[in-house]
Chain A
Amino acid sequence: MEKRRTNEILLFQKRKLVFTAAAAVVILLYGMASFVTEYDTLLGLSSFPKAFKWIIVNMVPNAKALERLPNILKKLTETALLSVAVTVCAAICAFFFALLGSKTTRVNPVLAGSVRVVAAFFRNVPDVVWAILLMFSFGQNVLTGFFAMFLTTFGLLTRTFIETIDEVSNDCVEALHAAGANYMQTVFQGILPSSISEVITWILFMIETNIRSSTLIGILTGTGIGYLFDLYYKRLDYPSASLVVMSIVILVILLETISGGIRKVIL
């Protein structure tokens, strides 16, 4: 009994020590980072009001900006459709690659390993970097954006689909094999129905993500909504530029709501 009490006290003391140490480390790191980058905390905080004022004065859409709304919406639709197309293409490819990479459905272990490595490579290079690299071969073109987003989406979805398939289908795959089903039948009758709702959830999520990143990529490649933003911004037409940003935000929120609804229906 005595011993248990002491152990308990020791345990809590240890916890406290860990928290204190963690807090100290964070503060220290912050101090060091501020010192190195010559960042003044007080100045940083005090410039908030000024920044806000500037935003309010310069970024509120005015009548001229609203005139541009049809054009903005047209480009926005273009960008959204491109993101949907990219994501769906990437998802279909990723699903078949994931089959090769998953423990339950792989055809051969070496191939499975290489699938994982390739997926990790595509995923870990940011899409903006892909866009910059691809610009050398495709130039400022819609294709550049398409492939840049395709590669990262493909890498990310391959990995998540591998995990989904591993998680979802071990047992039923065994049963289908026992009944004499072949590979294709197991995939379409066992794995696909078991994982479809996770797959759709991920596709919806990636569509949202890709709309956001296509804005950034569009600035680089001079296409879509990113191009418009860049154009207005460089012309110092801030109200129009901010209207672009707002329309993107509204679109993404709209999409989130819709995909939330879809998820509820399928799950």
Chain B
Amino acid sequence: MPVLELKNISKTYDNVTKALQDVSITVEEGEFVSIIGPSGAGKSTLLRSVNRLVDATQGAIILDGQDITHVRGKELRRVRTKTGMIFQHYNLVNRLSVIENVLHGRLGHKSAVSGAFGFYTESEKEQAFFILERLGLTEQAYKRCDELSGGQKQRVGIARALMQEPKLILCDEPIASLDPNASRIIMDYLSDINKSMKITCLLNLHQVDVAVKYSERIIGLTAGRVTYDGPAQKLDRKMIYEIYQSHEGQLITDMKE
């Protein structure tokens, strides 16, 4: 059974901007899929429609066998716990400690009051420390997030997502604000999570070489439409030019040869 099925999704902002047009994608359990495409192609919109931060104008979203296109309220919260999200700008609560931010991953599972006042159970705390250890953040647990480096912040973001015990992790340009070394560490962690914990990963990336290196499957998105969907190995130069709507010699990746 696929973890995620997007059926003919379209999204139009303010009745003018067609961010997505008739996008259909199926993601199987355990896959590591990267979406590439130029800025403004609709990558972020696509990811956000999966956890309903953005409501698609048309089409259906089937997550884990359930049609979630129109779920609301409590049910929407429950559905959202199944998808962890990682952001380009980490989106942590900077004034809170690392451990508190990680525990935020439990909010969707908790009652409104105990979540609001930050009452977590012992087992939740244990799990949070276990995840922090796994991501090499044990020493940072009680630091405030604004004291961390970018790479560390993103690891807190990953920890928060893992705390949800998600089926699927959505990453919106997870390494776009990081230096090459931190980028590699983050990508290695994501890849490791995918392999050892069998969590499906759907990423937006704008570095084609990174996408090819880490993912089995790549989806090319151009002006709101899927222009490529297949194995990473089969993505040739010609396809890349087509996805980015450019000609030979214009892309920064061309400079290597």
Contact = CB atoms under 8 A, between A and B. Distances in A.
A57 to B, nearest CB: 55
A223 to B, nearest CB: 39
A172 B153 CA distance: 13
B87 A179 contact: no
Nearest to B97: A193
Given A172-B91, A194-B95, A182 B112 contact: yes
B96 to A, nearest CB: 5
B80 A180 contact: yes
Given A188-B116, A188-B117, A180 B93 contact: no
Interface string A176-200: 1111111011011110011011000
B160 interface: yes
Given A171-B91, A197-B95, A179 B85 contact: yes
Nearest to A197: B95
A53 B109 CA distance: 73
Contact of B116 (A187, A196, A197): A187
B53 A179 contact: no
Nearest to B107: A181
A180 to B, nearest CB: 2
A174 B170 CA distance: 13
Interface in A155-184: 171-172, 174-182, 184
Contact of A177 (B80, B92, B94, B116): B80
Nearest to B164: A179
B95 A196 contact: yes
A172 B93 contact: yes
A101 to B, nearest CB: 21
A179 B80 contact: yes
Most chain B CB inside 10 Å of its own CB: which residue of A180, A185, A187:
A180
B89 interface: yes
Contacts of A178: 51, 53, 80, 83-85
A30 to B, nearest CB: 48
B96 A193 contact: yes
Contacts of A175: 85, 87, 91-92, 104, 157, 160
B195 interface: no
B108 to A, nearest CB: 2
A185 to B, nearest CB: 4
Interface in B62-120: 77-81, 83-85, 87, 89-96, 100, 104-105, 107-110, 112-113, 115-118
A189 B93 contact: yes
A177 B53 contact: yes
A176 B103 CA distance: 11
Interface string A190-222: 100110110000000000000000000000000
Contact of A176 (B81, B107, B110): B107
Given A175-B85, A193-B95, A184 B107 contact: no
Contacts of B95: 193-194, 196-197
Interface of A: 171-172, 174-182, 184-185, 187-190, 193-194, 196-197
17 contacts: A171-B89, A171-B90, A174-B91, A177-B80, A178-B51, A179-B84, A179-B164, A180-B81, A180-B108, A180-B164, A184-B115, A184-B116, A188-B117, A188-B118, A189-B93, A189-B96, A194-B95
